[in-house]
A and B are shown apart, each in its own frame.
Chain A
């Protein structure tokens, strides 16, 4: 029925009838996987939202203690890496082997820069005792006055302010979420970079052409997704109350 008369593409797996069936299955699979990922991070976003509503002051104070520049640089770096990724997909679709490889390598480099900066940021948090747990220190340095400043109107329009004790406790929730969210994001980046290495190697070997480039495309989808997660994380974690 399906073209048994002409030669099969070497990349066609035995249980598919055509290349397009194989490609569509792969891409659909990737989308379903990303749906799973949305719910995975979704659990965190829900948790974040609730606690931010309850402990807005603590979230604002904790967020302000984070240096903004590295986060900003990382945002630019990641958006850049999405561009290079998209260009490599385009190149693979148009049979440009050399360009595919180069754009993939550029993506790997940008991804690594992001992780490098992340390491710097984590180290900074360790130094300042902003890692939740027994050695956590927040209230003493940022003081209750600082928080009183940003006091948010609570139910009934009363100004409430958190005492240092309460800040010391509830900012830990913010930083717990900070580490879980950015940590899982970084883990996704690491996985992505490993996959990119494999794809780059395959591209270098000339495995892809205009008929077969689904792996590059799927890696692209994954990479963009990880990128988008960061686009949400950045304002939620770094920019809670920067407007004044």
Chain B
């Protein structure tokens, strides 16, 4: 095997200077723009989390005023959900990889792709403005009438920021749908697509169908604040619970915008490292679509105690249980794929193992919450906080980081430190559990969310949680260092360092601007890991 050389011509070398980046229409460069901007927001959201965890190390409210604390958890939630997690996997990895995975030169609408990034940035600026102007304290859920009438903080600016960012998400989804329908290389039919692409297709459907509903809801809240209209105002006969319905009609599916693409990442990594086709390919593919569809009919499980009728609650409880089925299908199929496959312990795979454990716990605790009786006890406690962090941080971010580590050699053309990447994966896993497992217990014992004080007997678990957060933070910071370091000093990766079968590994790393010299024609089956293919892939 000859040592790979770093290709002289690639998308990174094609154009220099800020302008070549800010005006680029290359999906790969736009992915990098997104990577940088969402990382910045991740960092900012992280700072607010640091504030929250510091305050909660002691039972007294001694660090912040209650109002300040409210702003901290609101901004943490708003930034992490709308400006980091929703764009994370699709806008970075999806953007970079979908075209090469389907043998295309670019997404269907390169200019709209760039536009989506600018829209994201403008939405971000509104939110940053709201922070500088004094913050916002409604919680990321913007419940009325507090958000529409009572709160005296910068709700309008934040809501506008979220509204605008929503359109960036819609445009990304639209671009993916059209690309997957119309830009596949000749001979690449749907059932040869990587599951990563299927997952993004399902995600895009949610983005396109769900986001406009939250957008219009925000418009109504905005009109109420800005012009004194009264759509959710109880004093004029408006119904605040209607706001919750509309909000969760988007925001429950939105949790699948965050997790589905990560599930796609997991499929790619699992099959590559176990050198096997994903067990039950079409089940996994359709389970993504099933999740997208079911995701739209369970929203009221967030409102069991908000005054909906008991019959509605029973129906939504039942439907919420059924979402667990397609999720479980995936987990079982991955396990079956790993079974008797060749196990390995590279960093991407470590993230995947971590993901399995955390996603499983997150999903199972979702069932506790979907059960009417238990939810009355657990609603609005730290149990809910732990549940969604297990899925969104434990699941989605583990998937995202696993994906970044898996495709980094493709994106940058160089390898990162194997040692440090493993250390960081382990730190993230340990830190995460230390941070959030105690929160299940706290919630079960009755500690409510969104308060800056608590009774003394909760302190031990809270201190554990804050300590864990420090470890987790370190685990997140390490990759920034060794990944950035690798850009310049990493070993040259070669086309296909993992010996993976996907089309994106056939082209050079980093790819050419047009991805391929020739449109690929001999399209393999998805995940074709026959001994012959493995041998040849290793030679590349």
Contact = CB atoms under 8 A, between A and B. Distances in A.
Interface of A: 1, 13-15, 17, 21, 24-25, 28-29, 32-33, 35-37, 39-44, 46-47, 50-51, 54-55, 58, 131-134, 166, 169-170, 172-173, 176-177, 179-180, 184
Nearest to A35: B208
Given A40-B215, A180-B219, A173 B182 contact: no
A169 B235 contact: yes
Nearest to B112: A29
B16 interface: no
Given A43-B212, A132-B227, A172-B236, 13 more contacts: A1-B519, A15-B183, A17-B519, A36-B211, A37-B212, A40-B213, A46-B246, A50-B239, A133-B227, A170-B236, A176-B220, A180-B220, A184-B219
Most chain B CB within 10 A, of A21, A29, A50, is at A29
A54 B242 CA distance: 13
A178 B288 CA distance: 39
Given A32-B208, A43-B216, A180 B231 contact: yes
A233 to B, nearest CB: 14
B208 A42 contact: no
Nearest to B106: A15
Contacts of B219: 180, 184
B213 A176 contact: no
A135 B275 CA distance: 71
5 contacts: A44-B216, A50-B242, A134-B228, A172-B236, A173-B238
Contacts of A44: 216, 220
Interface string B390-413: 000000000000000000000000
Most chain B CB within 10 A, of A35, A39, A132, A184, is at A39
B108 interface: yes
B35 interface: no
Most chain B CB within 10 A, of A43, A44, A169, A177, is at A43
B contact face: mostly helix, strand, loop, or mixed: helix
B298 interface: no
B186 interface: yes
B108 A25 contact: yes
Contact of A25 (B182, B212, B220): B182
A33 B230 CA distance: 29
Contact of A29 (B109, B209, B228): B109
Nearest to B227: A133
A24 B228 CA distance: 44
Contact of B237 (A43, A173, A179): A173
A59 to B, nearest CB: 11
Contact of B223 (A1, A14, A134, A179): A179
A15 B105 CA distance: 5
A contact face: mostly helix, strand, loop, or mixed: helix
Interface string B218-259: 011001100111110001111100100010000000000000
B183 A132 contact: no
B217 A21 contact: no
Given A36-B174, A47-B242, A132 B212 contact: no
A54 B238 CA distance: 10
How large, as a class, is the contact surface on chain B? 35 or more
Given A15-B110, A173-B237, A43 B228 contact: no
Contacts of A32: 174, 177-178, 208
Contacts of B223: 176, 179-180
Q: Which 7 A-B pairs have the closest CB atoms?
A: A133-B228, A40-B212, A43-B216, A176-B229, A15-B105, A15-B106, A39-B212
A1 B187 CA distance: 13
A132 B220 contact: no
A25 B514 CA distance: 19
Given A35-B208, A55-B237, A15 B230 contact: no
Contact of A169 (B106, B110, B216, B236): B236
B307 to A, nearest CB: 15
A237 to B, nearest CB: 15
Contact of B208 (A17, A36, A176): A36
Given A25-B108, A47-B246, A184-B219, A36 B228 contact: no
Contacts of A184: 219
B473 to A, nearest CB: 37
B189 interface: no
Contacts of A1: 186, 519, 521
B170 interface: yes
Contacts of B174: 29, 32-33, 36
Interface in B179-209: 179, 181-183, 186, 208-209
B79 interface: no
A141 B237 CA distance: 20
Nearest to A169: B236
Most chain A CB within 10 A, of B182, B210, B217, B239, is at B182
A32 B105 CA distance: 22
